[in-house]
Amino acid sequence: MNEKTDVWQGTMALMVLKTLEALGPQHGYGIARRIEQTSENVLALNYGTVYPALVKLEQEGYIAAEWGVSDNNRKAKFYKLTRAGRKQLAKETQKWETTTAILARFFVPPQES
C-alpha cells in the first residue's frame, strides 16, 4: 500500500514556480494535478495548501493571474510566472540544491582514517 506523505514546509512555492516554468500558464487545479503527477502521487496534496501559496506568490509578484476558460469550459484563474518569479525560482533552486547537498552528507558512511 502506497502511503502519501505531506508536503515539506517551504517547498510548495518552489513546486508551483517550477510547474509554471515547465508548463506555462495553468489554473490552480492543473498546478495541483501536475505536482501530484510529478511526485508519482506520493505527495498528500491538500488543495487548501495550493491556493494560499498561489495567493502569496501573486502578492509577492512572482506570478501573475488572469481569468480564462479551462478545458472543461469553466471560468478559471490562470497563473503564469513573472520575470521576478523566474529570478526567485533560480534563487530558491540554488538554496534547495545547497540544502539537499548538506543533508546528503549525513547519510554517507564516515571515512575511516
Q: pLDDT tens for residues 18-65?
A: 999 999 999 998 999 999 999 998 987 777 878 999 999 999 999 999
Note whether residue 47 is domain-resident.
yes
- Of all residues in the chain, what percent carry a pLDDT higher than 70? 91
In a domain, 112, yes or no: no
Number of domains in the chain: 1
Residue 110 resides in a domain: no
Contacts of 5-12 with CB under 8 Å at 24 or more apart are 5/42, 5/43, 5/44, 6/43, 6/44, 7/43, 7/44, 7/45, 7/46, 7/49, 11/96, 12/49, 12/50, 12/53
Residue 2: its pLDDT value, please?
57
Tell me if 33 is assigned to some domain: yes
- CATH number, position 49: 1.10.10.10
- Residue 80's pLDDT is what? 97
For residue 110, pLDDT over 50 is answered with: yes
Please give the residue range of the domain that contains residue 16. Answer: 5-105
CB 58 within 8 A of CB 65: yes
In a domain, 113, yes or no: no
Q: Quote the pTM value.
A: 0.85
pLDDT exceeds 80 at position 74: yes
User: 13 lies in a domain?
Assistant: yes
